[in-house]
Amino acid sequence: MGESHAGGKSKTSKRPVKWIIVTGGVLSGLGKGVAAAAIGQLLAPKYRVIPVKCDGYLNVDPGTMNPIEHGEVFVLDDGGEVDMDFGHYERFLKVTCSFEWNLTMGKVYERIREKERKGDYLGKTVQLIPHVTEFIKDWWKTIAKDEKADVMLLEVGGTVGDIENELYIEAARQLNQEVGRENIMYVHLTYVPKPEHVNEHKTKPTQQSVGMLRHRGILPEIILARCHEPLAEKEQKKIAIFADVKPDRVFSAQDVESIYEIPINFAEQGMLTIINEELGLNGLKQDSAWKKSVDRLTADHLKRITIAIAGKYTRLEDSYASIIEALHHCEAAFNVGIDLKWLETSEEHDLAKDMEGVHGVIVPGGFGSRGVEGKIATVKYCRENDIPFLGICYGLQMAIIEFARNICSLKDANSTEVKKVKHPVVDILPEQKQVTKKGGTMRLGAYPAVLKKGTAIHKLYGKDEVSERHRHRYEVNPEYHEILEKHGMVFSGVSPDGTLVEFIENPKLKYFVATQAHPELKSSLLKPAPLFYGLIKACVKK
Ligand code: GLN
């Protein structure tokens, strides 16, 4: 537990670790992770903030869950498959997270059962309280110590009252006694609706959810009120009375155009002063480069472009959260508005008609055979019409299949993930052949690649070796490397031993690149992922 991937030391001298516990109420899906990340963003320039997310489900990690149900699976450098909130944490806190920072009840119980079998609890009845809560608290404290954290930013998943999260809430309550009131702050995110027929914010759900938290022994110091528009003073005061906090501790977390505005909103409402009052974290000021980028991002863009995303989970944008964020980062970089067009590839449609007004195309990651032919047709359309194209993971594999079929004349070319064919141009990785278990067994995490000088991709990265994150089981079949290259496909980046194709491009076209990796996972507001940057640059030029 607690292997450090973040590097660096505590930014301040020895003082007790400060704990910020973020809980949620009323509804799920209010953006608790983003709100927590926004608080962290304000602290991160001066303090070493370590985010921890506690999920109640019994899966060990979200790696085996359907993205439509759970949103994107975020992958870390260390290969950990974690909750998508870690995407917000990395983007807002500029910290490289570790698999250990995502607790799930699946992980907790798995380890407790191991301990019990080993005899660690010999003679005892192992109980939810105290054994599981002690175990959870130890886990948090180990991270704090190993990471030399100044601030532990701890998000409890779900909403107060969910049975599956009770043990985290109980552990968070107990922590108060152990670390001292001056070292811990509880933040509760709730929902304040404004029903159409009454036309004022209704605070009852917030009152009740704070009540539920109090019933569990937690008295929040800050209320983040998710609302459509900022609360009126009278509404703020009403929540303050019921929540037993001063009115300046009730923050409006209103809908915003861009999530990157949230730290600025919080700071404008006095969050920095309150964090200082509560935890003695002083000398905080807003990050001016961040503010500048946010201004560019939210400006009225004179120029707008349309990017089509061809996938099979297009019904839920959360499935492609990091891709959408990487595009937002480019909006700020280029001062351009990007409209998204979703192409559901598992349904029949008129491609030429769909492509009207589209400036560039992304074929994102994916699994299984559904929607594959639609993706291949989309790639073909881009190649034939010289439309800027970025293929990500499965998107690279689709580009290889399309090229093999239509340029190398390997008519039935396909991936063995889809079907058995005469020309399996995409095939299972050798080390994956023996794998039988599904959880955490893909080629996961950061791997280096060596880039070929003179290629478009080398120019975009501006270096010879890069590291990006991966999550896949298949690769470009080495038996077909020669024929693909002979017909003009350029392997712009390969694994250091030269065996694995990591980046490709078609130099005959304006911008036609793809990667086996997921570069969207490392994109940030101030530093957009190079391949996304290249895509938008090509579209803007067009
Ligand atoms: N299904 C493909 C593979 O496993 C691609 C995975 C992905 O797009 N993340 O190789």
- Quick: pLDDT tens for 348-386: 788 999 999 999 999 999 999 999 999 999 999 999 999
Residue 8, pLDDT score:
47
Residue 14, pLDDT score:
74
Q: Which residue's alpha carbon is at the smallest distance from atom 1 of ligand 1?
A: 367
Between the CA of 313 and the centroid of ligand 1 the distance, in Å, is 14
Between the CA of 516 and the centroid of ligand 1 the distance, in Å, is 8
Flag whether pLDDT at 475 surpasses 50: yes
Q: What would the DSSP string read from start to end of 294-346?
A: HHHHHS--S-EEEEEEEES-TT-GGGGHHHHHHHHHHHHHHT-EEEEEEEETT
* Each residue's pLDDT tens digit, 118-127: 999 999 999 9
Residue 69, pLDDT score:
79
Reduced to 3 states (helix: H, G, I; strand: E, B; else coil), residue 227 is strand
> Ligand 1, from 474, 516, 521: best to mutate by most atoms within 8 Å of Cβ?
474
Flag whether pLDDT at 9 surpasses 70: no
Residue 388, pLDDT score:
98
The model's pTM is 0.93
* Each residue's pLDDT tens digit, 390-414: 999 999 999 999 999 999 999 999 9
Between the CA of 332 and the centroid of ligand 1 the distance, in Å, is 29
Structure tokens, 433: 């052949």
> Ligand 1, from 73, 367, 470: best to mutate by most atoms within 8 Å of Cβ?
367
| 366 pocket-lining for ligand 1 (C-beta < 6 Å) | yes
pLDDT-derived band at 7 (thresholds 50, 70, 90) equals very low
Question: Does the active-site annotation cover 215?
Answer: no
Nearest to 75 by CA among 87, 66, 65: 87
Nearest to 480 by CA among 537, 395, 421, 393: 421
The predicted model gives 419-425 an average pLDDT of 96
**With pLDDT > 90 as the criterion, what percentage of the chain qualifies?**
87
The predicted model gives 174-178 an average pLDDT of 95
Residue 6, pLDDT score:
40
Q: Which has the minimum average pLDDT: 192-196, 327-331, 515-519?
A: 192-196
Residue 12, pLDDT score:
59
CB burial class (10 A; 0-12, 13-18, 19+) of residue 60?
Answer: middle
Q: Which residue's alpha carbon is at the smallest distance from atom 7 of ligand 1?
A: 365
Residue 4, pLDDT score:
39
Residue 518 Cα: closest atom of ligand 1: 9
Question: Does the active-site annotation cover 382?
Answer: no
The predicted model gives 450-468 an average pLDDT of 98
Catalytic residue among 54, 382, 393, 539: 393
| 471 pocket-lining for ligand 1 (C-beta < 6 Å) | yes
**List of E strands, 158-273:** 184-191, 222-227, 250-254
Between the CA of 475 and the centroid of ligand 1 the distance, in Å, is 9
Q: d(Cα 44, Cα 284) in Å, to the nearest integer?
A: 9
> Ligand 1, from 472, 477, 502: best to mutate by most atoms within 8 Å of Cβ?
472
Flag whether pLDDT at 3 surpasses 60: no
| 394 pocket-lining for ligand 1 (C-beta < 6 Å) | yes
Alpha carbon of 153 to those of 18, 55, 99, 144: distances in Å? 9, 14, 15, 10
pLDDT-derived band at 315 (thresholds 50, 70, 90) equals low
Question: Does the active-site annotation cover 518?
Answer: yes
Catalytic residue among 54, 328, 518, 539: 518
What mean pLDDT, rounded, does the chain reach? 94
| 472 pocket-lining for ligand 1 (C-beta < 6 Å) | yes
Q: How many CB atoms lie within 10 A of CB 92?
A: 27
pLDDT-derived band at 323 (thresholds 50, 70, 90) equals very high
The structural domains of the chain, ordered by start, are: 14-294 (3.40.50.300), 300-541 (3.40.50.880)
Residue 11, pLDDT score:
65
* Each residue's pLDDT tens digit, 425-449: 999 999 999 988 899 999 999 999 9
